[in-house]
Amino acid sequence: MTKKQRKYPKHTFYDQRKKTWVVRRKKKGKNYHFGTYKTREEAEKAVEIYDQIGWDPVKNWAVKAKVKEILYGDD
């Protein structure tokens, strides 16, 4: 049996209207927004970081800064 392949990485989707990648997760029937990113790589990395540190929507800015630091280095 093969596993159904996703069009997008788990917990992400592409918003065509805004041309951004959105990270969101459903908890107890409610959708929570975890940030928007310009590229798919940034969104995938954000999901990895959230998996490591826990899915807390309050940490959006910290995760976004860490993603940019990992992918692009210090500015």
pLDDT tens digits, 6-31: 666 789 999 999 999 999 998 889 99
Q: Residue 1: what pLDDT?
A: 41
Tens-digit pLDDT profile for residues 21-74: 999 998 889 999 999 999 999 999 999 999 998 888 888 888 988 888 888 886
* Residue 62: φ, ψ to 5°: -65, -40
Provide Rg for the chain, Cα atoms: 13
Residue 4 confidence class, pLDDT cut points 50, 70, 90:
low
Tell me 65's DSSP state.
H
Q: Is residue 2 part of a domain?
A: no
What is the domain extent for residue 19?
12-72
Q: Is residue 1 part of a domain?
A: no
Q: Residue 60: what pLDDT?
A: 85
Q: Is residue 7 part of a domain?
A: no
Q: Is residue 67 part of a domain?
A: yes
Q: Is residue 6 part of a domain?
A: no
Q: Is residue 40 part of a domain?
A: yes
Helices (DSSP H) in 1-75: which residue ranges? 40-53, 60-72
**Total domain count, the chain:** 1
Q: Is residue 65 part of a domain?
A: yes
